[in-house]
Amino acid sequence: MTIPFLHPLTGFVGKTFVITEFELRKLRHDFTELVTRALQPALWLLIFGQVFARSGMMHTGNIPYLDFIAPGILAQSVLFVAIFYGINVIWERDLGIVQKFLVSPTPRAALVLGKGFSAGIRTLSQAIVVYGLSLLLGVKLNWSPLALLNVFVVVVLAATLFSTFSLVIACIVKTRERFMGVGQVLTMPLFFASNAIYPTTIMPGWLKVISHLNPLTYVVDALRTSMLTGSASSFGMGLDYAVILLTTIVLVFIGARLYPQLGV
Amino acid sequence: MSPDVEIETLTRRFGTFTAVDSITLAANAGEVFGLLGSNGAGKTTTIKMLTTLLPPSSGDARVGGFSITRQPVDVRRAIGYVPQAVSVDGSLTGYENLLIFAKLYDIPHGEQETRIREQLKFVDLTADAGRMVGQYSGGMVRRLEIAQATLHRPRVLFLDEPTVGLDPIARDAVWKHLIDLRTNYGTTLFLTTHYLEDAESHCDRIAIMHMGKLAALGSLKELEASLGGGSHTLDEVFVHYAGTTLDSGGSIRDVSAERTTEQRLG
């Protein structure tokens, strides 16, 4: 039995990417879910977006409504994919797999983070779909490399955040039935209490407060600033990144503490 | 040489229920050690504590020389585990299932391929390595799990009900590979079972658990002799020490878990 010396940090990072690698290999064997997931953003952009844009009811400042909503729909997509991906830890048909991971010398945080990142990679396919549809609808997208990199990073981080959040809830409720109920209760409020499909300026006071406490709001703001030309950030990219990173770190920490309970 | 598994007054409570009640025993290096008991006797809980999945309520154990409470990561490096529930991923190939653990157990990059090929050959799965595990039969799944759990050549291999849900031919194949492990690598096998035939045919020493307590401990010969007067079957030994037959006991959760595994492997 050989154990090469590994610096703890490189070991941790390496193990995290091993977990991600194998989630992606699974995707390579069967990527039909990527296709079916593309339906939701298509419906929101092509139907909801166009209808409300035509209605003239939504006042989104100097940006057309469709442009405004595109980053919001990407964020929504990331949210939904990540939340329902996170629960596959209890939906893993064979809990023996979880036990095998927990019995290996892999740090628990690497297991949790690895799954989070692979949720991130999966949602990148959603980003491609949203960009494609936006292009079709004449949205003024920012194609500069820095902007695209920002979108890439924010999408991966946001997916990690929400899938870890979902994993934490899964560890608490422990059964699929309970989770399905909880899952619905979580995703819709997070989506509607954010600036995804309307600006916070038109919200009633109480909703505005909630939206400012909602990580999705900062995700949307970061995406809106990066995806579109001529869109200024409401909070500043610095604050957006800070909120997303901090929330993700806290959730990974909690997830790493709770994940072992699934092996019992 | 000190025992590979040393358990000292190990106890685990869940609320007011005591699943494992202060058991003390040791398994020697290279031994095939069987923990025998009906469902609900506390065997799986014991294995979960020894594999660091569950912390004990009190007591301790040393596995491969490391304490399960104070040195869990070192214990994890020294052991392999085949849980009762299926633990290989059906959405990956046989090869990929081994590759992920080769990486997680820090097998050097240059050695990974060789080691995986060795393991596949050892369990007769070379031809099926490229197929998706979702298509494997129950016996193939168990053999892959054994290959996966011993990839890093652990000192101790823990197995929780290794032959449940398998037909007799598959069962024999699994035991052949397990005994080969002990012969070729000196691996200590510590397993739980509620199949008397398995315990009788293959275990060097047996511990009988009943309602969380250790009811008896010794080799098959010793246990049979302890009943006195003439020869006895393991069945009779079990009834004598546990006060009940082997198929009694267990909750609906235990039965459900076993049936799920049988369905998945069958």
Distance CA A172, CA A176 (A): 11
Residue of A nearest to B261 (CA): A94
Contacts of A103 (CB under 8 A, 6+ apart): A263, B51, B52, B53, B76, B79, B81
Cβ contacts of B105 on chain A, cutoff 8 Å: 104-105
Chain-centroid distance, C-alpha A101: 24
pLDDT in tens, A86-138: 777 665 545 788 899 999 999 999 988 888 888 888 888 889 999 999 999 99
Distance CA A258, CA A167 (A): 9
Cβ contacts of B106 on chain A, cutoff 8 Å: 2-4, 6, 11, 105
Residue of A nearest to B89 (CA): A97
Whether residue B87 lies within 8 A of chain A, CB to CB, comes out as yes
A contact set with B (CB within 8 A) = 1-4, 6, 11, 14-15, 18, 21-22, 25-26, 29-30, 93-97, 99-106, 260, 263-264
Low-confidence winner among A82-91, B8-17, B163-172, B184-193 (lowest mean pLDDT) = A82-91
Going by their DSSP bridges, the two strands B5-14 and B58-63 should be labelled as: antiparallel
Q: Of A166, A161, A73, A148, nearest to A117 (Cα)?
A: A161
Low-confidence winner among A169-178, B34-43, B197-206 (lowest mean pLDDT) = A169-178
Q: Is residue B181 part of a domain?
A: yes
Whether residue B115 lies within 8 A of chain A, CB to CB, comes out as no
pLDDT in tens, B95-128: 999 999 999 999 999 999 999 999 999 999 999 9
Structure tokens at B184: 């070729």
Query: Are A18 and B53 inside 8 Å of each other by CB?
Result: no
Query: Are A2 and B79 inside 8 Å of each other by CB?
Result: no
- Which among A25, A96, A106 has CB closest to B92? A25
User: Can you give A164-200 as a three-state secondary structure string?
Assistant: HHHHHHHHHHCCHHHHHHHHHHHHHHHHHCCCCCCCH
CATH of residue B208: 3.40.50.300
For residue B80, what are the domain limits? 14-88+153-265
Q: State what percent of residues in chain A have pLDDT above 90.
A: 52
Q: Is residue B100 part of a domain?
A: no
- Which among A93, A104, A260 has CB closest to B76? A104
User: Can you give chain B as a three-state secondary structure string?
Assistant: CCCCEEEEEEEEEECCEEEEEEEEEEECCCCEEEEECCCCCCHHHHHHHHCCCCCCCEEEEEECCEECCCCHHHHHHHEEEECCCCCCCCCCEHHHHHHHHHHHCCCCHHHHHHHHHHHHHHCCCHHHCCCEHHHCCHHHHHHHHHHHHCCCCCCEEEEECCCCCCCHHHHHHHHHHHHHHHHHHCCEEEEEECCHHHHHHHCCEEEEEECCEEEEEEEHHHHHHCCCCCCCCHHHHHHHHHCCCCCCCCCHHHHHHHHHHHHHHC
Query: Are B87 and A1 inside 8 Å of each other by CB?
Result: no
Distance CA A83, CA A153 (A): 18
Chain B nearest-CA distance from A101, in A, is: 9
Local structure of residue A260 (DSSP, 8 states): G
Chain-centroid distance, C-alpha A258: 20
Chain B nearest-CA distance from A25, in A, is: 7
The per-residue b/e assignment along B75-91, b for 16 or more CB within 10 angstroms, e otherwise, is bbbbbbbbbbbbbbbbb
Residue A3 clears pLDDT 60, i.e. is over it: no
Average confidence score pLDDT of chain B: 90
For residue A251, count CB atoms less than 10 angstroms from its CB and return exposed for 0-12, middle for 13-18, buried for 19 or more.
buried
Average confidence score pLDDT of chain A: 87
Query: Are A99 and B132 inside 8 Å of each other by CB?
Result: no
Residue A1 clears pLDDT 50, i.e. is over it: no
Three-point CA angle B15, B19, B25, nearest 5°: 135
A130 vs A233 pLDDT, higher one: A130
Residue A6 clears pLDDT 70, i.e. is over it: no
A2 falls in which pLDDT band (50, 70, 90)?
A: very low
Query: Are B76 and A103 inside 8 Å of each other by CB?
Result: yes
Cβ contacts of B83 on chain A, cutoff 8 Å: 95-96, 99-100
pTM: 0.87
Whether residue B264 lies within 8 A of chain A, CB to CB, comes out as yes
**What are the domain boundaries of chain A?**
31-263
Q: What is the pLDDT of residue A89?
A: 64
Query: Are B105 and A22 inside 8 Å of each other by CB?
Result: no
Residue of A nearest to B146 (CA): A100
**For chain B, how many structural domains are there in total?**
1
* CB-CB contact of B4 with B28 (8 Å): yes
Q: Is residue B235 part of a domain?
A: yes
Cβ contacts of B264 on chain A, cutoff 8 Å: 93-94
Residue of B nearest to A110 (CA): B104
Beta bridge partners of B132: B93
Query: Are B96 and A93 inside 8 Å of each other by CB?
Result: no
pLDDT in tens, A102-111: 999 999 999 8
Whether residue B73 lies within 8 A of chain A, CB to CB, comes out as yes
Low-confidence winner among A33-47, A244-258, B49-63 (lowest mean pLDDT) = A33-47
Residue of A nearest to B85 (CA): A96
* CB-CB contact of B55 with B71 (8 Å): no
Residue A53 is which amino acid?
A: A
Map tokens 């290096």 to a residue. Answer: B29
Alpha-carbon torsion angle B164, B169, B170, B171, nearest 10: 40
- Which among B54, B87, B96 has CB closest to A22? B96
* CB-CB contact of A226 with A142 (8 Å): yes
Query: Are B154 and A1 inside 8 Å of each other by CB?
Result: yes
The SS3 call for residue A141 is strand
Residue B227 is which amino acid?
A: L
Residue B135 clears pLDDT 70, i.e. is over it: yes
pLDDT in tens, A12-50: 899 999 999 998 898 888 888 778 888 889 999 999 999
Cβ contacts of B148 on chain A, cutoff 8 Å: 100
Going by their DSSP bridges, the two strands B79-82 and B156-160 should be labelled as: parallel
